Amino acid sequence: MDIIAAQLEDIDQVMLIIEQAKQIMRANGNQTQWINGYPSREIIAADIRNQDAFVCLVNTEIVGYFCLIIGSDPEPNYKVIEEGAWLNNSPYGVIHRLASSGTVKGIARKAFDFAFSQINTVRVDTNHDNIPMQKFLRNSGFTYCGIIYVSDGSPRDAFQKIIAD
């Protein structure tokens, strides 16, 4: 599996992957994440324009998508965390909108491996009902840090992992 920067011409395929990921979430009991048109075509296009969008390829087929933002404080919703604390205040990467077509295993692992090849601290949040993602994060060495709130005011479980330099 290869990871490459997404291009605007990939957007139709990325939106299909997102719809497939929503179906997987619903089948696993997660009825409240990625609702009301989120993530929209406009959000994905902005990810691509900002050069934060990546696709996972098997041969030439797009089988996964994620947004990776890196910076000193790339996620404004992470400024306030309740019922816990972040592990550190170092610059970090954040993965958003991780989506798999469901046709290939290992999309999340590859996305996070890619993130850690770019920066040694990654933060991520997920819906409390997204049990498969929470299990993946815990099994991958992420630490539960508390609760953050996304822009619509809904809570998310927040995780962080730091790897040695």
Mean pLDDT in runs of 10 for the chain (165 residues)? 96 94 83 78 96 95 96 87 95 94 92 96 92 92 96 92 87
Helices (H), the chain: 11-27, 41-49, 107-118, 131-139
Q: Using alpha carbons, select from 73, 11, 75, 1 the residue that is nearest to residue 40.
A: 11
pLDDT at 31: 73
pLDDT at 25: 81
Structure-token pair, residue 121: 């601290």
pLDDT at 165: 64
pLDDT at 131: 86
- Prediction pTM value: 0.91
CA angle 89, 91, 93 (to 5 degrees): 115
Q: Using alpha carbons, select from 117, 112, 151, 153 the residue that is nearest to residue 133.
A: 112
Question: Is the domain defined by 2-162 classed in CATH 3.40.630.30?
Answer: yes
What residue spans define the domains of the chain? 2-162
